Amino acid sequence: MYRQEKQGSGIFIKILSAAGGIIAGFLVCRLFFMPFRVTDSSMEPNLKPGDTAIILKHGAPKRGDIVLIESPVEPGRMLAGRVAAMEGDTVEIRDKVILVNNIRLRFPWKTKSSDRRVFPMNFSFRDNMPAVKLTRNHYFILGDNMDGGYDSRTLGAIPGDCVIGRVIYRY
């Protein structure tokens, strides 16, 4: 009789441990990771509409990272973009050439651009933008689709508190 009670409590402890592990794993995942479904073409060709990205919520992004931000002008709207410049950098755009600290930004990742038109500054900052020095904890975010997208050329410098996290995996 004593032996059966001990076996029964051992199974109960295993079930309780497994349930606790599942709950702890779920909580850790929710605290550190977040799935995001891409809805627009601003990050083409690297992220396409319908793709899912896993976001790491903690840690400061670095230049070249794809990040998820909350739009500073439309609360609740999430946007994906790539960090082109960080605090202390000066960004300028001249005839579609992006300069960071007066050095042409060369993209080691794929970008998309087929529109050969160059818009003047009084029409749009997409192709020409005056020099802007990024202040503390601000980022200049660009979409990989250089002809479209909603990024720092439209929104301005993005405050660090609008950055939700960086993409660590996409499928």
Could you read off the pLDDT of 120-170 as tens digits, one per residue? 787 888 889 999 999 999 999 999 999 877 899 999 999 999 999 999 999
Indicate the average pLDDT of the chain.
89
May I ask the CATH architecture of the domain 38-170? Ribbon (2.10)
The full 3-state SS of 21-79, as one line of letters, equals HHHHHHHHHHHHEEEEECCCCCCCCCCCCCCEEEEECCCCCCCCCEEEEECCCCCCCEE
- Tell me the pTM: 0.81
Say how far apart CA 127 and CA 170 lie, in whole Å: 29
Could you read off the pLDDT of 46-68 as tens digits, one per residue? 999 999 999 999 889 999 999 99
Residue 73 CB neighbours (<10 A) = 9
Q: What is the pLDDT of residue 166?
A: 95
Domain boundaries, the chain: 1-32, 38-170
**Which pLDDT band holds residue 8 (cuts at 50, 70, 90)?**
low
